[in-house]
Chain A
Amino acid sequence: MKKLDRRNFLKLGASLVGAGALGVPGAASAMGRGPERPPLAIDRVVNGNCQFCQVRCRLKLSLSGGRIVLAEGDPEDVWTAGAMCPKGKSQLELVESPHRLLYPMVRDGSSWKRITYAQALDLVVSRIEECKAKHQKDYSGRVVLFSPLWDCREGEIAADMALSAAGFSNILTPGETCISSASNILSTFLGTPNSTTTVNELENTGLVLLWGANIAETLPPYARWIEAARAKGAKVLYLDCRTTHTSALCDRQIMLRPGTDGVLAMGVLNLLIQTGAYDADYVAAHVRGFDNLAKAVTPYTPEEVARITRLPAETVTELASAIGASKRTILWLGGSLSRYSNGMQTIRALVAMQGITNRMFGPGSGIITMEGGKPGDDEVFLEHYRAEGLPEGQNMRRVTRSMAKGEVDVLFLNSSYRRYPDCNAVKAAIEKVGFVVFRGHFMNEEAALAQLIIPTPFGLESDGSMFGAERQVFWREATLAPAGEVVADWKFYRDLGQRLAPQVYPKFESAGELYEMFRKAVPSWRGLSLARLQKAPSGVVWPSFAEDEPERIGNYFAAGKLMTADGDLELDSSVLGPLTWQEPKGSPLADKAAKDFPLIFTQGKVAWHWQQSLTNYSQLIAQFCSGRQVFVHPSTAGGYGIESGDAVKIRTELGELSATAVVTEGILPGVVFTASHFSPSAPFEGNRGQSINTVVPNNWDRVSAQFNGFGCQLVKA
């Protein structure tokens, strides 16, 4: 077995170079496609990154005369080898879009009045100071921030410091609508909320379980790692209720009823235990709660699992057999698992499965989770700036209730409210907020709710540190000067923080200065100097305690034990209670389910769109989209007299969406799928549609919102 050191790793990266290389001038001639054109006069090449999915593909942007003339994925990046997906390419259009907001504006009746940044900042400060003066000691929940996917870490750090130093604790992260269920379960049982290995370990594994993980469409540049795994002889099993681009990358797809993943996991656990196909020595030495686990999964015989999941019982047995026999297994948790109300218990069962088979450690084993690459220890820095006695922040449900009761005075609407289920109710609550500040790029549904707009730059227009999916930290240089008077988050929140908490808030004049301030203060970041990052196109993996330490690539549990207090796996949890499974809330198969909505609703991303926001403003992408479609099995469609191309309504207890039917055998009977991304305000018809979460009922697990698995109906329009 070849040692996976950095040199070999780079060779692998080079061998996976794809389309990025075709951007080289002169290549067309070499391939016999026409006359050679004069080379581009490139002034400089800048290191950038895509600001969409967490892979955050590193880019090489070539400028001539101040304009971007060539954008390629960085072929030297060891994680992406130069890949870029359509979303990343759309940034080039979006940054020049005529629809961009470029100047601060304050609401003036039904229209907007342009103001200066200084005036905008004064307005925000005055509203916050009014709030504090009026509510004296009871103001901590009255200023709220909906976090975006920050364009750089310095934006998030500056914002956190500004609000917490000023005494406000309600900074709402996207996680509640994303994968917080997974990150909380991983943190509870493994001691880290992140992936426990890096994606290159797919080259060393024997079995890849893409469990609800539609990688080809959610993390397109990472499809190459699945291909690399298969090329090395690994088996790839994909569990999803419908055919996707990922289906073509696997050896076998298991199409189970949506929302029943926990049942299947418990059925596999039952078989592993019954047949002894687990690591008894490891369990005896390092796992507690095994007996309770065995008891909890006993009812989930292959027949019972088959009944609930709609899989053949033999499939359950075959899956358990493959997992039990595998010497190295990587479990890739799809984001969708966190988006059912039974998600936490599902992920808990899957973690237990990896645990008792002792597939957490070493090359080719571990768990990868979506959004699993965020480096840690921000708290070590941020805690110095928190106001004394700052209460714990509230979750979105409590914040929505506070807004609806008129108990929130200022909202920084930095991201889409339409990412929450029953988003019309969230909108109604936001309409009761005293002062809404929109921080974004376009005049969309969020801007429409604001009293003040302070537009933000795109990642191409700002520098800062960022992280990818492997805990790697990299430095992005600004490629373009910021358009108009857009203001980077780190700058706006710095200015705000220095006005609200001048005694506490630190002084810095650039993202780089803030980065170095942070880096020097946090031991696990000390090895990640700005100078080092600037020389590392692939970034450098966190943690790094000193600059001369080797990079920590591969299985995170390098010491062969978990990051829990004693290194062992405790399967019992008084916080979570017993391991159980329940139907997703609103499931048409639950007891006493309403008969009106007999079909199972699912939604998700498609490869070329980001959810509810930016990519809807791309004309390039709109060319390949034809409005909302709903995918339905022929046996289901036939029952409604629906054929492909028919105009239909997807109806839920909250309302209905218009869509065009696509009848396909690539989805389970009784299940429908429609894409998540549409916006009513999209300027291009192909991207335009009603926001999906207007019809998604407000169901949650203990942490995350549910977006799938509830009942719906199809009606011919």
Chain B
Amino acid sequence: MARINSNTELEELRQEILSKRDQNKPRIAVCAGTGCLASGAAKVIAALKEEIKKQGLNADVDIKETGCPGFCERGPIMVIYPEEICYLQVKPDDIPEIISETIKERKVIDRLLYTDPTTGEKVTHESEIPFYKNQKRLLIGTNINIDPKSIEDYLAIGGYRALAKALFDMTPEQVLEEVKRANLRGRGGGGFPAAKKWETTRNVPREPKYVIVNADEGDPGAFMDRAVLEGNPHSVLEGLVISAYTIGSHEGFIYVRQEYPLAVENVDIAIKQAEEYGFLGQNILGSGFDFIVNVHRGAGAFVSGESSALMTAIEGKVGEPRPKYIRTAVSGIWERPSNLNNVETLANVPLIINNGAEWFTSIGTEGSKGTKIFSLVGKVNNTGLVEVPMGMSLREIIYNIGGGIPGDKKFKAVQTGGPSGGVIPEQYLDTPVDFDELTKLGSMMGSGGMIVMDEDTCVVDVARYFVDFLCDESCGKCIPCREGLKHMREVLNNIVEGKGNEGDIELLEELSRLMTKASLCALGTSAANPVSTTIRYFGDEYQAHIKESKCPALVCKELVSYYIEPSKCQACMICLRNCPVEAISGGKNQIHVIDQAKCIKCGVCFDACPTRFGAVIKISGEPVPASLPEKERSLVRGKK
């Protein structure tokens, strides 16, 4: 491929690519993102290639290995074009039928379609599945149409048009103005206006300047950036080059976490291709603008996702934050002006340049424009990635898109914003999701993790979990974060073990205030959020743990006992055989009893007892009833 040297050449190439593509030719797209690969997509793709060869259809069908379309719960996902037939949970054994029936005969295979759980109806087309129908997928909607390893696929959907427009039709000032008017706010968690950052770095009278992509996504429960980088790496590169042009930077960095090998691979390929085609390197598209980009791979450190820490990590030092009396936008990598944006923020930039700020601001709420990708995980039916306009309510996201809570359980809370965010209870489910509304509730939008919890989740245990996570990941540089978290962990451990004291809640609140005020970086100042929000919304559960030694959700091991209800026990011996410590006595026709002194509370009996009996129950906060005397333990079976 020869380098492209002008806007005209780019459009000619695009036309050439499009003219070679027959829109009516059957095309089978299979998600080859991390989620689907782990569920066996590679075997499906291999079977597909083999079957097509076997049936002599090589010239008649295209196969596309794409990025993540989001419905990870039902992977591997396959979409067959031009009809847009969507098959879910496809297995290699299904392939011969798919080729013979759907490709050759144009017949839809019912069993592979999505079934609407409420109506029982089958849904044929991808866009009609409720999970997708209620989304607005500007960023991840095209993933299923492109092979992330093919720059031609990106060009076919209009890729790099925004870059050409910025370079040839706009001055850097005009680009800046457009992004400013679009009010694009940082998707990594902070929600800081991107154009403001760009402007700061741009105005510093020092060279060189750097631009950085933060792809060190580490919030537990968040994988939006992974999907964008894996599925459409060119969109991020395009956004990055546009930001560099605006700021006047000629060198950029992409910092990707080690845990995302496929993202690293696809980004590396994308950079090579972009250099070859002339979207990166010297004299980009013949415009006279130069820009190169380097990929840095992290090595597993949550705190390195913080902007100043990430820049220190790029310098090759320990990836710890530094005080930001002077912003990194002014003095970042090697004390040079450095602009850092999140993956998703940059992926929005080409859309804004192509469609204009008016279009972008028509989506979303007053203060938060555009869409946001969330990773919906935890106790929710449809886990996966969802992209919605800002302002959609939590209820719509969790119920209309997420399909509600599995197994008739009750919703309890949703954790947003990862370890820096908070836990939001049911009464706020109608809150519109945007940067400002979630902050008002003591949580934050954060990078977009949404962990749904049902009634079987103990919020004190959740708070302890997050504090434990942060203890692990705190870099230890500043005392409030390092010691505050440790102290919190100690108090929370006591509470969940039933050793809580009067005054513990107040102590936790005091520690929260201190950490929020005095920590060095944003991760430290927000570290107490999971604790303070759970106290704020679920204070009674803390009280129950401390005062009554009771875990209302029946989770905290030390506060729960297992007991077999004599009236329900059918003496089936299942629990007895499964108990790892032989704590259950009984026999055929003899009601089983748990020896509380031997019981290690592993819960195996609870899980093993057939649901139709439901004889094993959990008890918390009250004494375990005395076991039946030996002579009353013979089982009297009712008449059939």
Chains A and B belong together in one complex? no
- Interface residues of chain B, those whose CB is within 8 Å of chain A, are none
